[in-house]
Amino acid sequence: MQHRETRALCKEKGIVVEAYSPLTHGKRLGDPTVAKIAKAIGKTPAQVLLRWGVEHGLVTLPKSTREARILENASIFDFTLDETAMNALDALDEGRATGWDPRDQD
């Protein structure tokens, strides 16, 4: 759920945006496109998703209960994603809420 309109508005107004559940709650770490990009650059799918957020200027706050994953998730500042990879990841938007959806009024 990439919220492009909201992100564009926030950028215009100088508002910092957090990528809520930046690892898709773990639900899309097996996505084939993400896996392909990760394999090509020698990173993990989680690192690719987090780097995608950083490249877009988002604050990413991943959650993990495991030390190895916390270290893995923090190691995303020694590589970049090229335009082809960014475009491929941008194209994966499903509009899928992993948690509370602010559009739900109930």
Cβ-proximal residues to 51 (8 Å cutoff; 6+ apart), any chain:
43, 76, 79, 80, 81
Among 62, 76, 81, 85, binds ligand NAP (CB under 6 A): 62
Q: What are the two backbone dihedrals, phi and then psi, of residue 59, each rounded to the nearest 5 degrees?
A: -90, 120
Contact letters for ligand NAP, residues 9-48 (x by CB under 6 A)? -----------xxxxxxx--x--------------x-x--
Whole-angstrom distance, CA of residue 103 vs CA of residue 106: 9
Question: Total residues contacting ligand NAP (rule CB under 6 A)?
Answer: 20
By the criterion CB under 6 A, which residues form the site for ligand NAP?
Answer: 20-26, 29, 44, 46, 61-66, 69, 72-73, 99
